[in-house]
Amino acid sequence: MMGNMDTKELLKKVRKIEIKTRRLSDNLFGGEYHSAFKGRGMTFSEVRNYQFGDDVRSIDWNVTARYNEPFVKVFEEERELTLMLMIDVSGSEYFGTQSTFKKNILIEIAATLAFSAIQNNDKVGLMLFTDQIELYIPPKKGRMHVLRIIRELLEFKPQNHKTDISFALKSLTNMLKKKAIVFVMSDFMDDNYENSLKIVSQKHDVTGIRIYDEREEELPNVGLIQARDAETNKRVWINTSLIKTRQKYKNNYQDRVKYFNRTFNISGAGRISSKVEESYVKKLLNYFKAR
């Protein structure tokens, strides 16, 4: 019986997220998403036979003359795009003050983007990563597919705790043959992904979304605490009363943020940083509009 109850609860949650994010994508993001990603894709790609109702202005007269029947130019715009959501599910937060809160926001952003994409008849895929690829759902169209993605995001329990953004980006290159719109969501507490990001950005349209909690920027002075060492996954004691310890933590945090900003800039990728309590809606809209 219990399992049944859980499924019901889960579906209720999925539905709640759908209602909220669907409204966002219908009212706000549909058009913005379309113009941000498709408006620029008007590159001529191929010709096809003229069909009733096609715009006469798109007839390719050279090809038409050669074959003695009307052909029209097809622009990229007519082809669907692929949206790839790459989400870091590692336990990189030192001690997740609000890791569930952060997770919910990540899920909402992912769902909003996914609904915006299927409104435009695009495919949506999902990759969940730690220092491994934890889950890969190949890109598909349709509402049911998006609901499956939301369900996975709500339920998923990662096997590993470390983060390796470079590995995830490299894996993506092998998985996606066609140009895609890629959103990488993480707190980006990692480095050494500069080369991988450059390679991915050359082919795909990449945006990093850094969701962070201000409370994670500094270690609170609370004496001895137990934390998990991200590398070894062993529990270690940390003396937060030592200024030196707090300073080291803070420097490390700030270095990673600087690295994120710089690396995404030089790779020509887009980036958004949003605090958990900020309106990610505003951030996304401004980002789309600025493109």
- Specify whether 71 is located in the same domain as 188: no
Distances from the Cα of 123 to the Cαs of 55, 81, 137, 142, in angstroms?
26, 6, 11, 8
Tokens of 160: 């590993």
Is 108 within 8 Å of 20 (Cβ atoms)? Answer: yes
Positive or negative, the CA dihedral 21, 84, 204, 121 is: negative
Q: Which amino acid is at 169?
A: L
Nearest to 117 by CA among 24, 210, 25: 25
Q: Distance between CA atoms of 226 and 34, rounded to whole angstroms?
A: 47
Residue 163 belongs to some domain of the structure: yes
Tokens of 16: 């709640």
- Specify whether 166 is located in the same domain as 259: yes
- Specify whether 157 is located in the same domain as 192: yes
Place of tokens 């049944």: 4
Q: What does each of the 291 residues of the chain score in pLDDT, given as a tens digit? A: 445 557 888 888 888 888 888 888 887 666 777 777 765 445 566 778 888 778 787 888 888 888 888 888 776 555 678 999 999 998 654 444 456 778 888 999 999 999 988 888 899 999 999 999 999 999 999 999 999 999 999 888 888 888 999 999 999 998 988 889 999 999 999 999 999 999 999 999 999 999 988 888 888 899 998 877 766 778 889 899 999 999 999 999 999 999 999 999 999 999 999 998 888 888 988 888 887
- Specify whether 52 is located in the same domain as 181: no
Specify the number of domains making up the chain: 2
Q: The domain containing residue 286 runs over which residues?
A: 2-35+81-212+254-290
Place of tokens 């049911």: 144
Q: What angle do CA 183, 146, 122 make, to 5 degrees?
A: 65
